[in-house]
Structure 1
Amino acid sequence: MTTSPSTARPPAQLILSTTEHFVAFGFGAGLSPWAPGTMGTLVAIPVFLAMSLMSPTVYAIAVAVLFIFGCWVCGESARLLGVHDYGGIVFDEIVGYLIAAAPLMLIEPASVGACAVGVAAAFVLFRVFDILKPWPIRWLDRRIHGGFGIMIDDVLAGVMAALLLWIALHFMRSM
């Protein structure tokens, strides 16, 4: 379930006034009047690049911890706003992108250019799945509420994007 278009955008002063809102709104990215989900996903790219220095195991644990934290922080922000899954809550996009980009942790890029292409491919794939919400993403989005409900659709979009990215990387490596 998402917020209705008539829901007024909360003022920036409110979002910047609590840690829960600030984090849930992607450190301010969710305040964008244009495509806040895309802006939140853009915030995830430097987060991924920093986290890519971790081992794949530590990366997976960190993403799992961020998911659990995200369930709480997004749920708390939504509760404080009184709106479930307000469009400006984008911490879920950050975690979803980190999942989508996870296959990049398993390859050794041949160059900075190859890394940039992989990062961009993860971005595009994640945004496509997050926007289109194919089954079961849309089904879950409509039925599960609270912080877990806010997070789970983006996690699944990230998993679907990661699967396609992994297949593409595997195919390219076998050529």
Structure 2
Amino acid sequence: MTPALAVATLGGIGRLRPAPGTWGSLAVLPAALLGPVACLVLAAAVTLVGWVAVRTVLAEAADQDPGWIVVDEAAGMLLALVAVPAGWGWIGITAAFALFRAFDIAKPWPVSWADGLPGATGVMLDDVIAGAMAGAVLLLAGGLW
């Protein structure tokens, strides 16, 4: 397995069935234990490294958004975890996961817009936006709570 493929599949997690995107999202949930700043740093790093890896992998792939690429889910999920309200514990983490997956699967605008962009940018950006939208809902819920 090439380094780019290892990053794109999160070490092979993207090959798990069914629902590889869900597995990719679940894989980074333990990062929530590190706190919001660490999740933000990890989200930025995974987004950058993931974009480079996806660009490399897509250069050799017929499908321009294969389901086994899950580094994008990891980046978006990490971004959603940044906004888990303090004190919400596993309920907040579960809410972040559910919101992120809902936005990623339903693809409301602007997620759908980003999903239509070509190449690695489209693959990565739709999940980053879905993660940001999930985070915005969590911040709003935390503020209302």
Equivalent residue, structure 1, for 2:24: 40
Equivalent residue, structure 2, for 1:78: 58
Q: Give, in angstroms, the shift of residue 140 of structure 1.
A: 2.0
RMSD: 1.7
CA pair 120-59 structure 1, distance change in 2 beyond 3 A: closer
Equivalent residue, structure 2, for 1:103: 83
Q: Give, in angstroms, the shift of residue 19 of structure 1.
A: 1.7
Q: Provide, for residues 18-45 of structure 1, a one-character-per-residue CA deviation record: whole Å limited to 9, x for no partner.
A: 1211221122211022101001101011
Q: Work out the CA distance in 2 between the residues paired with 1:48 and 1:20.
A: 25
Q: Work out the CA distance in 1 between the residues paired with 2:69 and 2:109.
A: 22
- What does residue range 57-136 of structure 1 map to in structure 2 within 5 Å? 59-104=39-84, 107=86, 109=87, 114-136=88-110
Give the share of equivalent positions with the same residue, in percent: 36
Equivalent residue, structure 2, for 1:4: none
Give the gaps of 5 or more residues in structure 1: 1-16
- Report if aligned partners of 1:66, 1:95 keep a CA contact under 8 Å in 2: yes
Q: Provide, for residues 64-99 of structure 1, a one-character-per-residue CA deviation record: whole Å limited to 9, x for no partner.
A: 232111111122122233321111100000000011
For 1:87, the aligned partner's letter is G
Match of 2:40, SS state, is helix
Match of 2:28, SS state, is helix
Normalising by the residue count of structure 2, what TM-score does the alignment of the two structures yield?
Answer: 0.90
- How many pairs are equivalent? 145
Q: Work out the CA distance in 2 between the residues paired with 1:97 and 1:83.
A: 23
Normalising by the residue count of structure 1, what TM-score does the alignment of the two structures yield?
Answer: 0.76
* Superposition misfits of 4+ residues, deviation over 4 angstroms: none
Give the gaps of 5 or more residues in structure 2: none
Q: Work out the CA distance in 1 between the residues paired with 2:31 and 2:13.
A: 13
Match of 1:101, SS state, is helix
Equivalent residue, structure 1, for 2:12: 28
Q: Give, in angstroms, the shift of residue 125 of structure 1.
A: 0.2
Equivalent residue, structure 1, for 2:127: 154
CA pair 66-83 structure 1, distance change in 2 beyond 3 A: same
Q: Work out the CA distance in 1 between the residues paired with 2:40 and 2:31.
A: 14
